[in-house]
Structures are given as C-alpha cells and as structure tokens.
Structure 1
Amino acid sequence: MSTKAVTTTKNELAKAGEASPSERFTMAVIKEFPNGLNGQPTELTSFQRKLIQNYFIKLDGVLKEAESKRMAKSEQYRDALAFSWNNVNMNKLALDVVAYSSIGLDPLQKNHIHPIPYKNSKTNQYDITLMEGFNGLELKARKYGFDVPDDVIFELKFSTDVFKSHKKNAQNKVESYDFEITDDFNRGELEGGFYYMIYNDNPEKNKLVVMNRSQIEKRRPEYASAEFWGGEKDEWKNSKKTGNKVKVEGWEEEMFMKTLKRHCWDHVNIDSQKIDDHLMRVLENEQQGNDREVVEQIQAEANKKQIDFNEEDLDVDFEEVKTEQPIPEGFEEVAEEPGF
C-alpha cells in the first residue's frame, strides 16, 4: 500500500457538516493527531487513513448490532440510551483511535483489537473500550518489547500426550522439553498447555512456560460467554430469562490456546526507550482497566473476608473491562473468533 502523505486541510474540516458519518468520524480523529512541525497541518499517510476508516467500519457494525439487540428487548428491560454515533463519547474515542492506529492495530484484522461499548452513567454516553486481541498483543510486543523472542511454540496438552520439561540448571544450559502425541485422533481430556520462547542466537535464554487446566481456567473472564468457553448459560425466551439453564459445548480448545497466547505476549516487557505518546495512552488505558478490577474486587469482598494477595494473584490477566453496568448481551466475551 502506498505511504504517500495525505494532508488534512482546513477546508476539509469545514465540510464536516456535509460529510457522511464515516467522513465525520475520520475528521474527528484527524483533529486529535499531534500538529506537524511549525504549526503545519497534520499529515497522515494513506495507510493511517485506511486504518481510521477500518475503525469506523468495525465500530459502525458493533453499534448497529448492539442497537438491534437493545431493540429486541421488551421496553421494560430496554435501556433508553440508543447505540448510535450521537451517543458515543467521540473525544475519548478519537484519542484512543489515534493511539491504537499509530501502533498499527487494525480492527478488521483477525484478533487485533475489539471495540466494546459500555454506558457511562456520569456522561450518559457510550464509551468505547478498545480491547487488544492476542494478535494485537503480539504486534505491540514485537514493536515495543524488550528482548522479544524470535519465535514461540504454543501447544495444548491432552491426557494421552507425553510431556516432559527439562528446566535449566547447572548441568542443563538450555531449557527445553519433550512432547509426543501418541494418538492423533483420540488425545483424551484437555489438561492444559505450554509455550516455548525461542532465541535463535542465544538458546540459553529459551524459556518454557507450562500452565495446567486450573491456571488457565482462573483466567477465564467473569463475564465470559458459555458459547466460547462452554458450560451452562441462562435460557432466554421472549427477551426474558426462563429460570432454566442450557448446556453449551463451546470452544474450549480455542479458548485455552487464546489464553496461552495472551499470557505470552502480555508478559513481554516493554522497552522504555521505545515508549512514545501513543503507547503511553494505550498503557494508561490498560492500567485504568486493571485499577477498575482491583477496586471492584475490594468492594465485592469488603466486610466479608480478608483479601490475600500472593505472587500468583499479581500475575492474573484482566481480559474483560468491568463496567458500571453489565456488558450488553452479546458482548459478554471479548469478540475474538474461536478459529485461528
């Protein structure tokens, strides 16, 4: 794709009232880009403009789907605030789109980034949270990470598989493992998984991370959908819960693999020398999400029992955004497709 710079002019912004929703969205985002040198108009490459358009296309679809689900509910249970562009906090969204698009995250690429709308009761608008998928986390890690591995092997471990780790010690200079699939078509029960980080020029830095079923399942988001993870869910009829539960098979293998990949790329340290303003906003957004999680845990556990934090607790990945109201039906799970 051509990287020929496209300059935003004042005349272009003046036409905002005549523009389509897509064009108005692009102009709102362009306003938030840093000014060029000597106060010159902001210059965007054609690739940046394409990414901005992709954010609009994805967000427009998300809002329309959410509005369709809202209208499908009976008026008694329907929130009065419509999922429309007029009700979106555009200032926050524009700043976030600038940051994430500058990193190179494309919402139309598989598992790069997922927009999730939630109602902010203080502003009576919808804030759009942009949640990174595991491919987005890898892209960010490779662009901004410190000591990024050259390659990573991800595997799931079933009960009939034979696995043995070889940890680094005084006699063994390179951490490694043995893994054999004894029955390709009947591997048994899913027990967990592992990933192996490879450094081609420095194999002594190779690292093996093993996660059993319990360690993976505890990273399942609180609002995770049964359609993804499997299990039971509430039965609905005529937009109302029947009080019954229905069992859903889900995509457990894919969710375990997703968790392994998120754990890997989310734990690559950021190189402080590579941090720019765009990454700083992304990191601030992530921290705000984590802070909300901690606050809600404290509030939920207050006056009930002592909260004990250990080293393992501090390693938890908070994949879901906790909101001031439940995530709209259909957005319980960050919308990563189960297939890879």
Structure 2
Amino acid sequence: MSTESKTTTKVAKKEGNAIAKTNPAERFTNTVIKQFGASAPGEIKVSDFQKKLIQNYFIKMDSVLKDAETKRLSKSEQYRDALEFKWENVNMQKLAIDVVAFSSIGLDPLQPNHINLICYKNSRTNKFDVGFIIGYNGIELKARKYGLDVPDNIVIELVYETDVFKAIKKDANNPIEKYTFEITDEFDRGELKGGFYYQVFNDDQTKNKLVMLSKKDIEKRKPKYASTEFWGGEKPVYKNNKKTSETEKVDGWYNEMAYKTIKRAAWNDVVIDSEKIDDNYHRMAQNDMDRVAGEVQNEIDNNANATVIDIDSEEITDQPKLTEPQPQKKVEEVVDKETGEVKDDSPEPGKQKPLF
C-alpha cells in the first residue's frame, strides 16, 4: 500500500471514530440543523445554548417514543396500529423546523411546564408528526418575548371561603386598579370560591389590571379530557384490565389545577405585538393548527372502541398526551401521581444504538 493510501485510510478511520464517539443527541442536533437548512436555505445561526436545547428535545422525544411504543405493544392486536413509534417513522423535516423555532424562544422540554411533545399519526404520509403543547411557564416566556406591553409581574392567588378579598376597580376617584386580600385562617381556608390575577406595571401603575375568575369561570376552562386523577371526581373501577359498572371517588388536586388554569389565563392575556412576530412565532402557530387537525383526524380514523387517554395542556402536569387509541386502562399507568411525569423506564439515550 502506498504512503498516500495509508494516509487516506488513517484519516478515514479517524473521522469514522469521531463520528462513532458522537452521542445520539449531538447527531440529532446536526440532523435538525441540516434538515432545517434544506427547508430554509441561507445562513443558519444556532447558538451554543440553542444547540443544548435541541439536544434536550432529542432526549424528551426519545422518551416519548419509547413510552408510546410500550403502550402500543401492550394493546390487543385489534386496537394496535401497525406503525411503530420509532425515529425512522418520524417526519424529521417537520420536526427539524419546529425544534429550531421553539428552541429559539428558549423553551426547554426538560424543564417543568415549558413545552410538551406529542406524536400523532399522519394518515397521508404514514409517518408520525410531532406536536408541541406550550405549558404555563412556556406561555410566560412567549408572552415576555412577543408581548406588546408586558407587565413587570403578575400576582396569582386563589380565594377561599374564609379569605377576605376586596377588588378596588379604577374609577374617577381611583386612578389605580388594586385590591386588598387577607387570609384569616391559614390552615383551614374553607372551600375554593375562585381566584384572580393582577398585572403589575412598576413605571406606570395606572396600567395595573385586576382580573377575577369565579369557580364557574375556572370550570369553563377545564380540559375536555380532564383526568380525574388531577381534577378529582368519579372514575370507573377496573378489574382484570376491564371496565366495570362500579365507580370510585378521587380527591385529585383540584386547587392546584385551578391555580395553574389562572396562571395560563394570566399570561395568555398579554397582547402580542405584531411588530415582534417573526418566522418562529408563525411556526408555533402553524404547529398548533397542524396538531389540532392531526388529533381530530386521528379521532375520526380510530373512531370508537378505544379510550383516548388525554392529558390536556391545562392539566396539572402539562405533560405529553397520546392521541393513539388506548386500551381500557387506569390513568395511573400513564402518569406518576406524585410528580405528574410520564413514566419512562427506558435506558439512557447514549446507551442506544445510534439513530442518526
């Protein structure tokens, strides 16, 4: 072998070893940037922080796929879709564009209540599209980045029977909207009556805004598929994985759910500045429309005979929801009741066979 051939072989081996040492998250990051570049030609500037966020999207997405595939395999064959939840079946081009958009805002899927990932089957492409649900902390980040007149702070409180709350609205004699609030019995506040949020503007207090929500108002915002594990109420009893005619009462975490519902309403109340809207914001809006359309189509395709276990974006967990049809199972098999995290016993991404 010539000296030139030996040198070429050594260089190839060195490059091959370097690629092999790259972990799956880094390969995913490179794939995202490459896919995004193919769809949006031009110079792509991705900061080191954004690259870290993109790797976090890989870690979360990998967990979501494993969790969904475990549930797919646990279903009886008559309800089991043939399409496996694996990376090869994910629409990577769409995912790449969305990940760049959401990560540019600073939304981190590994941080509590920032953003959640869901998979839904696209019947036209026979691939899984990935939808993103922004959590209440993510809504705050979005409002601060794109808001027209963003408050310096928002106070959020629940009001109970023994509390003393008085709203002082703006009028001819009172230029600043405000309130008084007193807790008279810290450890036995009685039944929940409602809550409020108060937008605070330090430089111009005349813009301060008080919004009150009764318990009825909170109930209006309750998700369609609200889990009794969190909202409380009656749920069916299962025996041998089969639904019975019996029911049991679940206390749930209603007050916590009410608080988070008010917080979502508070930051959604911030008006978006049209001059700040960029391609990333448009991509967020498009993703939301695609996700809703995909979920509706899934429901039509799957029709009946299966229960959709749905953890809505306004649930206490703000965790991924699966629109794939599920067998009749308890919600506990999907969510950890203490942390609200989707259970995942899969190995670490770095220990897998390379995917990219």
TM-score grouping bracket, smaller chain normalisation? 0.7 to 0.9
Q: Flag the 1:47–1:110 CA change in 2: closer, same or farther, 3 A.
A: same
Q: Which moved more, 1:148-157 or 1:115-124?
A: 115-124
Is 1:269 equivalent to 2:258 in the alignment? no
Q: Which has the larger radius of gyration?
A: 2
Q: Are 1:26 and 2:25 counterparts?
A: no
What corresponds to 1:281 in structure 2? 283
**Which of 182, 185, 197 in structure 1 is aligned with 2:184?**
182
3-state SS of 1:263 partner: helix
The Cα of 1:323 is off from its aligned counterpart by 9.1
> Which residue number in structure 2 is paired with residue 303 of structure 1?
none
> Kindly tell me: are residues 239 and 117 of structure 1, through their superposed partners in 2, closer, same or farther at Cα, counting changes over 3 Å?
farther
Which amino acid in structure 2 is aligned with residue 218 of structure 1? K
Pairing partner for 2:124 from 122, 125, 134? 122
Given that 1:138 and 1:265 are in contact with CA atoms closer than 8 Å, whether structure 2 keeps it comes out as yes
User: 2:255 corresponds to which residue?
Assistant: 253
Instruction: Point out where structure 1 has 5 or more consecutive residues left out of the alignment.
Output: 1-11, 297-316
Shift of 1:28: 2.6
CA distance in 2, matches of 1:253, 1:176: 24
1:157 matched to 2:159: yes
In structure 1, distance between residues paired with 2:126 and 2:176: 56
TM-score, with normalisation over the residues of structure 1? Answer: 0.78
Contact 1:255–1:338 (CA under 8 A) maintained in structure 2: no
Shift of 1:16: 8.3
Report percent identity of matched pairs. Answer: 57
2:222 to 217, 220, 223: 220
The CA deviation at 1:54 is 0.2
Question: CA-to-partner distance for each residue in 1:144-188, whole Å, 9 max, x for gaps?
Answer: 111100111100011111111111111111111111111100000
3-state SS in 1 of match to 2:249: strand
The yes-or-no answer on 1:83 pairing with 2:85 is: yes
Relative distance call for 1:294 and 1:148 in structure 2 (3 A) is farther
Secondary structure, counterpart of 1:228 in structure 2: helix
Match of 2:102 in 1: 100
1:117: how far off?
1.6
Q: Which 10-residue stretch deviates more, 249-258 or 318-327?
A: 318-327
What's the CA shift for 1:86?
A: 1.8
Q: Note the 1:32-43 alignment, pairs <5 A.
A: 32-33=35-36, 42-43=44-45
Provide the C-alpha distance between the structure 2 equivalents of 1:293 and 1:173, rounded to a whole number of angstroms.
47
TM-score, with structure 2 as normaliser: 0.74
CA 1:264–1:279: 2 relative to 1, 3 Å: same
* Residue identity opposite 1:28 in structure 2: T
| Number of residues of Structure 1 aligned to a counterpart in Structure 2 | 303
SS at match of 1:270: coil
Give 1:101 deviation, angstroms. Answer: 0.3
| Cα 1:222–1:173 shift into 2, 3 Å | same
**Aligned residue in 1 for 2:174:** 172
Alignment deviations for residues 259-279 of structure 1 (CA, whole Å, 9 cap, x no partner): 111111112111122111111
Q: What secondary structure, in the 3-state scheme, does the structure 1 residue paired with 2:46 have?
A: strand
3-state DSSP class of the match of 2:221? Answer: coil
Cα pair distance change 1:20/1:324, threshold 3 Å: same
| Deviation at residue 214 of structure 1 after TM alignment | 0.9
What is the CA distance between 1:53 and its match in structure 2? 0.5
1:289–1:58 distance in 2 versus 1, CA, 3 Å: closer
Amino acid at match of 1:257: Y
For residues 132 and 338 of structure 2, what CA distance do their matches in structure 1 show?
A: 13
Distance 1:245 1:209, change over 3 A: same
- In structure 2, the gaps of 5 or more residues are 1-14, 299-311, 342-356
Match of 2:57 among 50, 55, 68: 55
Contact 1:114 1:132 in 2 (8 A): yes
Please tell me the residue identity of whatever aligns with 1:27: N
Deviation at 1:76, TM superposition (A): 3.3
User: Are the equivalent residues in 1 in contact too, given 2:122–2:129 (CA < 8 A)?
Assistant: yes
Equivalence for 1:313: none
**DSSP 3-state at the match of 1:210:** strand
Report the CA distance shift for 1:336/1:288 in structure 2 as closer, same or farther (over 3 A): farther
Higher relative contact order (CA 8 A, sep 6+): 2
SS of residue matched to 1:157? strand
Q: Residue in 1 aligned with 2:196? A: 194
1:210-248 deviations in Å (ceiling 9; x for gaps): 001111111111112111211122333444323433322
Which piece of structure 1 moves more, 124-133 or 77-86? 77-86
**Letter of the structure 1 residue corresponding to residue 152 of structure 2:** D
Q: Partners in 1 of 2:123 and 2:293 — Cα distance? A: 18
